[in-house]
Structure 1
Amino acid sequence: MPGQLLAVLVLLLQPLGTQESQCPIPSIAHGQLSSAENFTFGSTATLQCDPGFVGTASTARCTHSGRWYPRVPSCTPGQCRHPPSVEFADFQPRREFPVGTTLSYSCRAGFSLIPGVSPTITCLQNFTWSAVPRLCQKVQCPSPAIPHGTETSPSRAEYTFGQQVEFQCDHGFMLRGSDRVQCSSDGIWRPPVPYCDRVCGPPPKITNGQHSGMGFTQFTYGSEVKYSCAEGLSLIGNKSLYCTSEDGENLTWSGRAPECRAVRCPKPVVERGRMSPQVFTFPYGLLLHFSCEEGFRLRGAAQSQCLADGTWDPPVPTCQPVLCPPPQVPFGKLKSPLGEQRWYQTNETVTLECLPGYQFPDNGMMENAWTATCLPDGSWTPLPKCMKEGDADVCQEVHYIKSTFECGMPVEKVKSLLEIQKLFLEIKKLEMELEN
């Protein structure tokens, strides 16, 4: 700028006759004109823009009228070309990329940013983009190895997005889950990686029978299989087997397989008895319940089951007649010409009498006798009591007083009766003392 001012002063100091046409020194934003000559008629100037800017024209000439031709150029911001492509990455699309523009790349699905690498680039003043490093790497999934299982597909050191893995379990194990998984874009196996569960092999087969697990080759812990026999045969042994563990690690079936055999027990015969259910054949395992007719009592177990050896257990019971023991009456005896018996049949009747000096409470009985009957449950009809002579009168009085309360007699009258009863008891007491 000081040189340009000096050129202007020189022109002003020249004589008018020798003054040449002078072009003004233009003010150009973000740039300037430069020339080897003064800005006089016929001189040529070159446009120089600041870094990051470009000119609309490269040169200008000063005309005799003192103007620049073409018109004074200008400097405008420069732009970078389309950003470079980055493998497995994209950026937000736009039309222009002025100097200073910053772009940020994002990794595509299934790829992740390499740690420590910046995903941004900048349009520099020389209209080129800053260096673009490798930004994205394929997403990796963890190793899908499973205990007691192997990959049927080729194994790899790394498992990246999109790769598939197939599995199978070792002998004695069953795959729980999907047998094929794929590494997803978020680094997770989908479906989830399966696992190998311990199993039992096929349960033992039986002759003339089958089990509920037919068609299956593997059975998980706790599985149950039920056995059944062909028609007409009975299942001897456990009806079910379970897949279990005896040592806490290996699985095995819970026991020996049952057998199918033709087992029948003989028809039980219980005279004067009944059984349920009412059936015509008696196969293995049948449970019967027994009871007796009235007047008979069951001797033995009330139920019995048909065993594998064709016998009943417990043994079939019998029905025995119900008998009554000899009736026991204190101070009394049987009035029978044949004397006492050891046992008495149901409905058999005996006659009782009191020993000398004793009597039944009810003096109105004929010949002071009492009859009792043997009941079907082995007991007697109510037996009497033999009381000392005189005590029977007291009992009669007590029963009479009791009946007066129950029939609603006036209290005053009851009191009078009680007074009389008191005198009666005192007289009886004196009589007993005199006898002693």
Structure 2
Amino acid sequence: MPGLLGPGQLLALMVLALQPTGTQEAQCPIPSIANGQLSSAENFTQGSTATLQCDPGFVPTASTVRCTSSGRWYPRVPSCVPGQCRHPPSVEFADFQHRREFLVGSTLSYSCRTGFSLIPGVSPTITCLQNFSWSPVPRLCQRVQCSSPVIPHGTEASPRRAEYTSGTQVEFQCDHGYMLRGSDRVQCSSDGMWRPPVPYCDRVCGPPPKITNGQHSGMGLTKFPYGSEVKYSCAEGLSLIGDESLHCTSEDGENLTWSGPAPECRVVRCPRPVVERGRMTPQTFTFPYGLLLHFSCDQGFRLHGAAQSQCLADGAWHPPLPTCQPVLCPQPRVPFGRLKSPLGGRGWYQANETVTLECLPGYQLPNKEVMEMENAWTATCLPDGSWTTLPKCMKEGDGDVCQEVHYIKSTFECGVPVEEVKILLEIQKLLLEINKLEMELEN
């Protein structure tokens, strides 16, 4: 241990103690050296030499010293300093961080180069030992490998390898009836992962069914992934009968199939629509499948049925064509009046028909009204189903106002709508105001 005297030093001290005092030679002091000690075959007297011995892991700054006549060591007492290891050994596919010195007890770690990885269970660290050598260095690094790329329903375009090291490229192809989803070429990267990710093979539909005198939008393709859509079209002059498009779908959740049968291309014509007393829009002379027509009636006629109809695949109009029926006016009813003409027994009248009305006995038409004949009135059925102005019959001898009141009363009893009665009442109110003003002017 540092500070203790060695056997040679103890012997020298004993010899000095036994010598007579008068003949004692000059001696050098026994130094205390950390991590080492001086040793000599002679006493530490003047002219003697000593060797510095260091503990394991340390080296002397000077190997020998000499005791001078002045009782001092020359050169000055050396010391034991930590030793160093030489340059670390090279490791295949690995590097380390360079330093100026590698002292005993220090450690050093290796790192694998790009494309290589540390072998599992092996430590990348070495230590500088006390004998100034490095601890054993095992094989540290191995080439990075990616897992074997296996895709169901697909194969590698090239023969399979036993190992897939960093930088290896692989191409894939799918079996018949499948389509590659993803990149067809991948590479093993330095982290052991495939870049881009390994693709997969997905089921596909085969070519969609063909149609005579037509085509679909997927011509030239042989594989159609799930969800694909193709649209059909016909040659000019033909109509597409059936679904315009088909989709690649699945009925059992696994196998893929087209959503239905292919449509047909054929000539479809509907007969020329005939609606008497009616008109159609647009005006055309051909009536192919899909044509939509709008109908309306001439004046004096009302449309019965749907206002539009379309030519469908069965060659018929749907909904059925409408008809134009004459507009009819109900039998005119006049309070305290009646029909005079021979047509009086009918309940409905066609447009433009004219009837003659007269007042019942004891009633007459107002003097203000224009009469075609004495105490008679004509009315005509209009194209909208209403009559021209109907006459008013007032009781003979009653004033205009009283007659109007009777008229309103009879009108209300005959079931005239309340709104019309209100209008009549407003008119009568105005008449009363006029009569009142006339009387005031006369007075």
Q: Under TM normalisation by the shorter chain, which class is it?
A: 0.7 to 0.9
1:250 aligns with 2:255: yes
Shift of 1:362: 4.8
Aligned with residue 369 of structure 1, among 376, 391, 398: 376
Find the aligned partners of 1:76 and 1:273 in 2 and give their Cα distance. 124
1:169 aligns with 2:177: no
1:239 aligns with 2:244: yes
Shift of 1:69: 7.2
Specify the alignment match of 1:4 in structure 2. 12
Aligned with residue 13 of structure 1, among 20, 32, 45: 20
User: Aligned AA for 1:371?
Assistant: T
Find the aligned partners of 1:222 and 1:388 in 2 and give their Cα distance. 85
Aligned with residue 292 of structure 1, among 297, 316, 319: 297
Q: Which aligned pairs between 1:210-225 and structure 2 lie closer than 5 A?
A: 210-225=215-230
Change (3 A) 1:116 1:368: farther
Give secondary structure in 1 for the equivalent of 2:134: coil
CA contact (8 A) 2:57 2:129 kept: yes
User: Aligned AA for 2:216?
Assistant: H
Shift of 1:389: 7.9
Specify the alignment match of 1:430 in structure 2. none
Aligned with residue 75 of structure 1, among 80, 95, 115: 80
Find the aligned partners of 1:149 and 1:385 in 2 and give their Cα distance. 98
1:201 aligns with 2:188: no
Shift of 1:125: 1.2
Shift of 1:94: 0.8
Deviations 1:238-282 (A, max 9, x none): 211122222333221121112222334454454543222234433
CA contact (8 A) 2:401 2:428 kept: no
Q: Which aligned pairs between 1:276-355 and structure 2 lie closer than 5 A?
A: 276-308=281-313, 310-327=315-332, 332-337=337-342, 340=345, 344-355=349-360
Change (3 A) 1:80 1:319: same
Find the aligned partners of 1:76 and 1:111 in 2 and give their Cα distance. 39
Specify the alignment match of 1:30 in structure 2. 35
Change (3 A) 1:271 1:408: closer
Aligned with residue 230 of structure 1, among 235, 256, 260: 235
CA contact (8 A) 2:354 2:380 kept: yes
Change (3 A) 1:353 1:219: farther
Find the aligned partners of 1:59 and 1:407 in 2 and give their Cα distance. 155
Aligned with residue 379 of structure 1, among 376, 383, 386: 386
CA contact (8 A) 1:361 1:395 kept: no
Specify the alignment match of 2:418 in structure 1. none
Give secondary structure in 2 for the equivalent of 1:8: helix
Change (3 A) 1:71 1:151: same
Shift of 1:34: 2.3
Instruction: Compare 19-28 and 119-128 and name the one that shifted more.
Output: 19-28
Shift of 1:96: 0.8
Deviations 1:163-207 (A, max 9, x none): 444433344333222223334344443323333333322211222
Specify the alignment match of 2:415 in structure 1. none
Find the aligned partners of 1:86 and 1:164 in 2 and give their Cα distance. 28
Find the aligned partners of 1:118 and 1:256 in 2 and give their Cα distance. 68
User: Aligned AA for 1:5?
Assistant: L
Give secondary structure in 1 for the equivalent of 2:211: coil
Change (3 A) 1:25 1:338: closer
Specify the alignment match of 1:427 in structure 2. none
Change (3 A) 1:110 1:368: farther
Shift of 1:212: 1.5
Shift of 1:290: 1.6
Q: Please provide the CA RMSD for this pair.
A: 4.2
CA contact (8 A) 1:35 1:44 kept: yes
Change (3 A) 1:292 1:3: same
* Percent identity (aligned): 79
Q: Which aligned pairs between 1:31-46 and structure 2 lie closer than 5 A?
A: 31-39=36-44, 45-46=50-51
Change (3 A) 1:179 1:338: closer
Shift of 1:210: 1.4
Change (3 A) 1:327 1:195: farther
Aligned with residue 189 of structure 2, among 168, 184, 204: 184
Shift of 1:97: 0.5
CA contact (8 A) 1:360 1:384 kept: no
Shift of 1:104: 2.9
CA contact (8 A) 2:12 2:42 kept: no
User: Aligned AA for 1:6?
Assistant: M
CA contact (8 A) 2:155 2:172 kept: yes
Query: Please, which runs of 5 or more residues in structure 1 have no aligned partner?
Result: 415-436
Normalising by structure 1, report the TM-score.
Answer: 0.75
CA contact (8 A) 2:365 2:394 kept: yes
Number of residue pairs aligned between Structure 1 and Structure 2 = 410
Find the aligned partners of 2:140 and 2:314 in 1 and give their Cα distance. 84
Query: Please, which runs of 5 or more residues in structure 2 have no aligned partner?
Result: 409-423, 438-443
